[in-house]
Chains A and B, each alone.
Chain A
């Protein structure tokens, strides 16, 4: 079904220019996706803006994104290998694998929560697909995650005396699922914030709850049995367990881990998209 269109009224001498109601134009999923794709330059510029602003004015500039993960390795090694003396080999790397994936998700969720509300002035001045704003915050955090991983993983292979596992070929698939999950959550939270500004505070509490129900700082194998089966299906567990399987154990993720990651990833993307599409229209009036 195309956007409502009529010929210019009265068949008089007016040459036929097709008139459309722009406010109702492009309401369907396919059209919306196409219009988001048409605005990819805006998404790219918004991501580039955030990346530039992050280090602008600092002397080391972009090198900070290399220094940060290395400093984290040093700090976690000091904390877990020398102070706590955790016996599990390579424990700092174990933690960092989960923590980086977690940071990607939680920073994206927090930034996206306020993205539409903060973009209010822009939305009142120019017409563009609103979804661009939460999407750009997610992609900015994805880029950061990939940059950090690109520094950390080689260090880990060397320190761990481990060749890059063959399972590394699965890595992009897991990242895509986590991206789908994060986009879904971002759309959900960004839209909800246009109704209730309280959402941000709920998100902060919710994130810390989610953090401790995800096996990031503890190995899932140390969790007693009934709880262990439950925790696999905590929203972020599938992704974190998959990263740990690929890079820490050098194996393909187990079926249950795949199932959890795929269900949450695709499910959340569907829920977030549906929620956003059904509430998108009034966003310009509400922010």
Chain B
């Protein structure tokens, strides 16, 4: 039995939707007279009592309709949100690679190279570490010819490739992926799939959010289905995807 790397214990996350939210005095004054100006606070439970255990080397697919809590679950595991109740425990030493959004912190006026250094330092790397990774990132993105031009001259696909190249080069122990297959051309998607396969071979742990059944089938050996914030299935890929298929119908 391999060791547990992620253990979510009855995790719930509530967001507050403030309809008509305003701190504007004028509107507050109007609200005294008119119902439609009044602030209505609605609780939105993005996740309810989700318990999940992931062991080293597992590749878990997380599927569910839009708004079912998939991204919230990844963000909680990455430590970006505080749970409203319950707790998320993650192996103390494990490096988490959160590919939740690619190329965050990219600036259009900076060159590709400058953006790589900025982006990699957002993940906590220091200069010698980035210097060491740089050739790999260049090779991986296939953008060596463009590294000294400003990012604003890149196409969306090129920016995506650069962001993915940085994130993939960080060599995390736990990889959190949020639907990065959805964008990018066939070549990019193939590249992503190859990378994931390589991560799998090296025994990395993967949590993979996707709507693409084929991608989940190719990568994962277990599937979790989320429905309105509840974990309604956790088990083999085939039956999980079948359930998801019925849910979205």
Contact = CB atoms under 8 A, between A and B. Distances in A.
Given A8-B3, A56-B109, A126 B123 contact: yes
26 contacts: A5-B92, A8-B4, A9-B4, A13-B1, A14-B3, A17-B5, A18-B93, A19-B4, A20-B92, A21-B89, A22-B78, A22-B90, A23-B79, A23-B82, A23-B88, A42-B122, A44-B121, A45-B117, A53-B109, A56-B109, A57-B109, A122-B104, A125-B104, A127-B79, A284-B81, A284-B82
A39 interface: yes
B107 A49 contact: yes
Interface stretch (B58-66, B124-132, B208-216, B233-241): B124-132
B114 A41 contact: no
Given A23-B82, A39-B121, A40-B126, 15 more contacts: A9-B7, A12-B1, A14-B1, A17-B3, A19-B4, A19-B7, A20-B92, A22-B79, A41-B121, A41-B126, A44-B121, A124-B100, A128-B124, A198-B23, A285-B82
B89 A20 contact: yes
A128 B118 CA distance: 13
The listed residue with most A CB atoms (<10 A of its CB), out of B4, B23, B98, is B4
How many interface residues does chain B have, given as a range?
A: 35 or more
A17 B122 contact: no
Given A9-B7, A12-B1, A126-B104, A20 B121 contact: no
B101 interface: yes
Given A39-B124, A42-B122, A25 B1 contact: no
Contacts of B124: 38-39, 42, 128
B89 A19 contact: yes
Contacts of A284: 80-82
A12 B82 CA distance: 29
A16 interface: yes
Interface string A53-79: 100110000000000000000000000
B4 A14 contact: yes
How many interface residues does chain A have, given as a range?
A: 35 or more
Contacts of B91: 17-20
B155 interface: no
Nearest to A40: B126
Contacts, number: 123
A254 interface: no
Contacts of B126: 40-41
A6 to B, nearest CB: 7
Contacts of B4: 8-9, 14, 17, 19
B67 interface: no
A13 B2 CA distance: 8
Contacts of A127: 78-80, 96, 98
A122 B105 contact: yes
A15 interface: yes
B243 interface: no
B110 interface: yes
Contact of B75 (A19, A124, A196): A124
Contacts of A228: none
B88 A22 contact: yes
Given A8-B7, A125-B104, A15 B79 contact: no
Given A56-B109, A128-B122, A128-B124, A23 B83 contact: yes
A278 to B, nearest CB: 14
Nearest to A35: B124
A286 B52 CA distance: 27
Contacts of B98: 125-127
Contacts of A57: 109
Contacts of B125: 41
The listed residue with most A CB atoms (<10 A of its CB), out of B1, B76, B89, is B89
B28 interface: no
Nearest to B83: A23
B87 interface: yes
A282 interface: yes
Contact of A121 (B89, B101, B127): B101
A160 interface: no
B112 to A, nearest CB: 14
